[in-house]
Amino acid sequence: MLSSTLLNIAEKVQAGERLSFEEGVALFETDQVAWLGHLADSVRRRRHGRTTFYNVNRHLNPTNVCYWDCTFCSFYRKAGDPEGYTYTVDQAVAEIRPSYEAGITEIHIVGGLHPTLPFEYYLDLLRGLKTAFPKIHLKAFTMVELDHFKRITRLSEDEVIDRLVAAGLDSCPGGGAEIFAETVRKQICKHKCGTNRWLDFSKRVHLKGLRSNATMLYGHIESLADRVDHMIRLRNLQDETKGFQCFIPLAFYPKDTELAHLPGPTAIDSLKTIAVSRLMLDNFDHIKAYWVMLGRQTAQLALHFGANDLDGTVSGGGPLVATYSLDGAAQCKSTRDDIVQLVLDAGLEPVERDTLYQPIHPVQRETEVVCA
Ligand code: V47
């Protein structure tokens, strides 16, 4: 039996009305999971029908050396650690080449905040990749990295963005948002760029005409109210700029982190989070079920809980992808056929997209993609 609050929410959703903070929390608190999924699915189908996007992409993590110490992160290494690495531009190009030849359309680039690499390194990296692979979309650097570039160069935000664009930047990924609630941020990433800086940099990126994504790291020490608060802060900025392409809830993966004592989110929690985000983020076109962190099976179910995008093949993995792969490092890449089959088996229609969500038609492809 649904409460009057939930019945009222369903009516608002069907009428296309915006949900409040309290309503978002009520959605998280309900145990009517099938009802919640159905409601989110109705919004997903109204917007996208059976269309389910994926792309053929590759992650590149130019360095794992980082001077901060986020408690949820097992990827970073301190400078001098024997497991630390930093690619030269030539190494990065060589690393990408096989995926390029296999037909990727996007390189997703994020890395640690290296204590000594100059801004010029990152510009050279973009230039080197753009020269070697001119048609590939470079989705590079989170708002945390842009903030780092601003601090090491003392340039303005706009100058940082302009120089990156001149070197080949096409759009930005959504990482580093974690959880916006300041009390939680203080505990899990106290040194990292703050909430307002993250949001402000996103705004400036959007005002420059670039698109970016937004993530939320959930399933650690945050409350359900913190998750709804996070979504509403993004929704407010999206009202202003319309620059976010998609929202990606990232399921916390505790292994080898300082928070390894935590269990991480359950599948039900992940499905509810996808559904609530679809319902709260009425001005976001796309909700992404990032299969690497959710695991393939939960990601597939998420397509019936409001998600309409699976991210990409992430071919060749990359160390960060391997670190957080729920299905195990060996399973952190999929062929195009794997993803297509996952969507078909969910009774939905797979559509390959480019980074900006334009469908890629098979005739546009010069080669068949085999990305394993
Ligand atoms: O910024 C760090 C998160 C992010 C853990 O924009 C963790 O299309 C889970 O941002 N467990 C990187 N998550 C990944 C990311 C992303 C992924 C896919 C698509 C897009 C996009 C962006 O991963 C980091 C951080 O927020 N993260 N540690 C962890 N233990």
* CATH number where 335 lies: 3.20.20.70
Residue 112 lies in a domain: yes
Model confidence at 364: pLDDT above 70: no
Residue whose CB lies within 8 A of the most ligand 1 atoms, among 54, 106, 110, 215, for a mutation test: 215
Beta strands in 263-316 (DSSP E): 286-287, 309-312
Predicted local distance difference test score (pLDDT) of residue 366: 46
Query: pLDDT tens digit string along 36-46?
Result: 999 999 999 99
Using CA atoms, how far residue 248 sits from 4, 113, 261, 290, in Å, is 30, 22, 24, 7
Q: What is the mean pLDDT of residues 151-177?
A: 98
**In the structure encoding, which two tokens stand for residue 179, read together?**
């959880």
- Range in 266-270, 293-297, 331-335 with the lowest mean pLDDT: 331-335
The structural domain count of the chain equals: 1
Report CA(16)–ligand 1 centroid distance (Å). Answer: 30
Predicted local distance difference test score (pLDDT) of residue 200: 98
pLDDT exceeding 70 applies to what percent of the chain? 92
Model confidence at 237: pLDDT above 70: yes
Q: What is the mean pLDDT of residues 86-109?
A: 96
Report CA(150)–ligand 1 centroid distance (Å). Answer: 22
Residue 281 lies in a domain: yes
Residue 60 lies in a domain: yes
Q: Which residues surround ligand 1 with Cβ inside 6 Å? A: 72-74, 110, 142, 173-176, 178, 213, 215, 217, 248, 250, 252-253, 257, 290, 293, 311, 324
Q: Which residues contact 249 (CB under 8 A, 6 or more apart)?
A: 215, 216, 218, 270, 273, 274, 277, 287, 290
**Whose Cα sits closest to atom 5 in ligand 1?**
73
**In the structure encoding, which two tokens stand for residue 227, read together?**
């998750």
Predicted local distance difference test score (pLDDT) of residue 327: 63
Question: Can you tell me the distance from the alpha carbon of 91 to that of 273, in angstroms, rounded to the nearest whole number?
Answer: 38
Residue 5 lies in a domain: no
Question: Can you tell me the distance from the alpha carbon of 174 to that of 306, in angstroms, rounded to the nearest whole number?
Answer: 19
Local structure of residue 315 (DSSP, 8 states)? T
**Whose Cα sits closest to atom 18 in ligand 1?**
290
Question: What is the model's pTM?
Answer: 0.95
Local structure of residue 362 (DSSP, 8 states)? G
Residue 29 lies in a domain: no
Residue whose CB lies within 8 A of the most ligand 1 atoms, among 217, 244, 262, 333, for a mutation test: 217
Residue 17 lies in a domain: no
Q: How confident is the model at residue 361 (pLDDT cuts 50, 70, 90)?
A: confident
Range of 40's domain?
Answer: 34-370
**74 Cα nearest atom in ligand 1:** 30
Residue 9 lies in a domain: no
**213 Cα nearest atom in ligand 1:** 6
Residue 15 lies in a domain: no
Average pLDDT along the chain = 93
Model confidence at 230: pLDDT above 90: yes
Q: How far apart are the first and last CA of the chain?
A: 47
